[in-house]
Amino acid sequence: MHRNESGVLVVLIQRQRFKWTASCEAMGGNGESGNWTYGDYLRLHELLELQGDERGISADEMHFIIVHQTFELWFKQIIRELSETREILDQVPVPEDDIPRAVSHLERTTEIFRLMANQWTVLETLTPQGFLAFRDGLGTASGFESFQMREFEALLGLETEDRMFGMDPIKTFRKLSERGGKDEEVLKRLEEQMQKSSLFESLIKWIERTPIMGSSFDGDDDKDVVRAYVEAHLESHLKMGQDALERMSDLDTEGADRMRERIDSSHQSAVSFLIPDGEISRSRAGLLFIESYRELPLLTWPRKLIDAFVELEESMAKWRHDHARMVERIIGKRTGTGGTSGVDYLDATARYRIFKDLWEVRTILVKPQNRPDLINAEFYGYTVDS
C-alpha cells in the first residue's frame, strides 16, 4: 500500500469513528445506547439492588425472592409473546407467511413454561424449616397477587366460570387499587386486557374460516358443504363404534349392554360437539377437518399452530402441577399466605383448560381409512397421483 493510500484510509476511519460517536451521543450518550457496557445494557446495578439485602435477609430468603422475581420476568416475556400471537391471528385474512411466526411465539412460550417448571426444583432445595424461618415476614403477600399471571390468563382466555369456585380474577386488585399509584395502574391494565378479545377467541375465529372440502367460509354453498362433511363424519364415527361392538361379540349380555351405552354416549358427545344446540359449529368443523386431513400440504402450518397451542397448554398444566408438589413438599397442607387453601387450590388450577375444543376434537376422530372422501383435493396441494 502506498503512503497516500494509507493516509486516505486513516481519514476514512476517523470520519467513520466520528459518525459513530455522533450517532451514539444523539441516541443518548455513552453508556446509554451504542457504547453499552454489559452492566449498562442489562441495568445490572439496579437489578441487583432489588433482592432486599438492606433488610439483612438470609440466603434462604434471597433464594426465595430471586426465584419469584425470575418468574415475573418470564411472565413479562410470556405476555409479549402471546400478545404478538394474538395480533397475528386478529388479521383478516391472516397472511400465510405469518403463521410460522405465530408458531414460533407459542413454541418459545412453551419452552419458558418448561423452564419455569424446572425452577420449582431449585426452590425445593429450601427446607420446610428454612421457609418457616422467614414466612411470617411475607405477611399476606401471595403469588395470588401476581398481576402478570392474571394478565396472561386473561390474554389466553381463561374464563371466570372455569376458575375454582368461579372466583373473580381481579377482585384482589380492585381492593389494592384503593391505595392508588401503581396499584391503580395495575387494575386499569387488567381491565383493559379483559376487554380485548382473548387469544382463544382469535384462534377460533381463524379456524372458523378454514376451507372445508374446498369450500370458502363466505361461499354461497359453504353451509351445505360443511353440513354434508359433518354428517358424513358422524356417520363414520357411529359405524366405528358399531364395528367395535361387533368385535366384542363374546361379551356377556351385561357387558355388551355397558359397552353399547358407552358407544352411544360417545357418539352423542360427538354430535353435541359438532352440532351444539342444533346448529353446526363451523369452527369445530374446521378444527375437525384440519385434524382429520393434517397430511395435506395446505394444512401443514395450520395443524402445526394447533399442535403448538395444545403443547403450550400442556406445559402450563405441568408447571402448575409441579408448583403444587413443590408447595406440598415445603409447607404440607398449610393455608396459603394469601388465605387460599394452599395445595388444594394449586391442584385445582392444574386442571384449568382454556383451549378445550382443541383437546376434545381428538375424542371424535375416526381412522384415516374411514374419513369422508376428500373433495377438491387439488385445492389443498394434494391429489391421489401426487
User: Could you read off the pLDDT of 114-134 as tens digits, one per residue?
Assistant: 999 999 999 999 999 999 999
Instruction: Write the pLDDT tens digit of every residue in 300-358.
Output: 999 999 999 999 999 999 999 999 999 999 989 876 555 566 799 899 999 999 999 99
The x, y and z cell numbers of residue 70, run together, are 425470575
- Domain interval for residue 292: 67-167+198-386
The reported pLDDT for the residue numbered 383 is 53
8 has pLDDT over 60: no
CA distance 31 to 68: 29
Count structural domains, the chain: 1
- Whether 349 and 322 have beta carbons less than 8 Å apart is answered as no
The reported pLDDT for the residue numbered 336 is 58
- Whether 141 and 68 have beta carbons less than 8 Å apart is answered as no
- Whether 380 and 299 have beta carbons less than 8 Å apart is answered as yes
Residue 18 banded pLDDT, cuts 50, 70, 90: very low
Contacts of 281 (CB under 8 A, 6+ apart): 273, 274, 275
What's the half-sphere exposure (Cβ side, CA atoms, 13 Å) at 332? 4
Q: Look over the chain and give the mean of its residue pLDDT values, rounded to a whole number.
A: 89
The reported pLDDT for the residue numbered 386 is 41
19 has pLDDT over 90: no
The reported pLDDT for the residue numbered 9 is 40
- Whether 152 and 189 have beta carbons less than 8 Å apart is answered as no
Q: Tell me, what CATH number does 266's domain have?
A: 1.20.58.480
Residue 67 banded pLDDT, cuts 50, 70, 90: very high
CA distance 335 to 279: 46
More confident position, 363 or 20 = 363
CA distance 302 to 299: 5
Whether 30 is covered by a domain: the verdict is: no
Sign of CA dihedral 123, 125, 131, 137: negative
Whether 336 is covered by a domain: the verdict is: yes
Whether 213 is covered by a domain: the verdict is: yes
Whether 114 is covered by a domain: the verdict is: yes
Residue 215 main-chain phi, psi, to 5 deg? -85, 140
CA distance 190 to 193: 5
Cα 108 to its chain centre, rounded Å, is: 10
The reported pLDDT for the residue numbered 335 is 67
More confident position, 14 or 112 = 112
Whether 379 is covered by a domain: the verdict is: yes
Percent of the chain with pLDDT over 90: 77
Closest CA to 176 of 153, 149, 144, 136: 144
Closest CA to 312 of 273, 366, 352, 257: 352
CA distance 143 to 357: 29
Whether 28 is covered by a domain: the verdict is: no
Whether 29 is covered by a domain: the verdict is: no
Closest CA to 293 of 365, 360, 384: 365
Instruction: Write the pLDDT tens digit of every residue in 260-290.
Output: 899 999 999 999 999 999 999 999 999 999 9
Window from 50-59, 146-155, 376-385 with minimum mean pLDDT: 376-385
Amino acid at 98: D
CA distance 305 to 287: 11
CA distance 299 to 23: 47
The x, y and z cell numbers of residue 183, run together, are 396499584
pTM over 0.95: no
Whether 226 is covered by a domain: the verdict is: yes
The x, y and z cell numbers of residue 154, run together, are 386473561
| Long-range contacts of 18-25, Cβ-Cβ distance < 8 Å, separation of 24 or more | none
